[in-house]
Amino acid sequence: MASIRKHVTRDIVALDAGVPLRQAAQLMAERRIGSVAVKGPEGILGLVTERDLVTTVLARGGDGSLPIREAMRTGVPRVQASASEADCATLMRDHYTRHLLVEEDGRVTGVVSMRDIIQLMLDEKQYLIEQLQGYITGRG
């Protein structure tokens, strides 16, 4: 199993905890991403995802001017960049999340999404199929 290292989004999109939810939603739409990290003086505090925006703003009748700290999830699971896709998938399932923070040397260095993990799994399956086809036809 391959590690997630090369599939980690290292350009973390982060906003200060006091920024309005509307701005986070606009940034996610512009960048076509599903989450924004929330930062405070001591580093990354948590994540705000599209789902969090729906839950906080639409479902609860919230206001888009609320600060993102009102919608952020703290305690987002963290993994090392050396983790396997299976480890990540299990962690996502167990914590009902689609995003994990990636740590190296004790600090957050990236984000990995369920989409990234699925793509990695599909890439590995495709590689295995090609290897087996080569073996069967005698070209490998």
15: Cβ contacts below 8 Å, ≥ 6 apart:
23, 24, 27, 36, 37, 38, 39, 68
Distance CA(45)–CA(12), nearest Å, equals 13
Locus of tokens 């919608």: 71
- The model carries a pTM of 0.78
* CB neighbour class for 129 (10 Å; exposed up to 12, middle 13-18, buried from 19): exposed
pLDDT digits (tens, 9 = 90+) for 23-70: 999 999 999 998 999 999 988 999 999 988 888 887 777 778 899 999
pLDDT digits (tens, 9 = 90+) for 79-107: 998 899 899 999 999 999 999 999 988 88
User: What kind of architecture, by CATH, is found in domain 5-137?
Assistant: Roll (3.10)
First to last CA, the chain: 21
Per-domain boundaries in the chain: 5-137
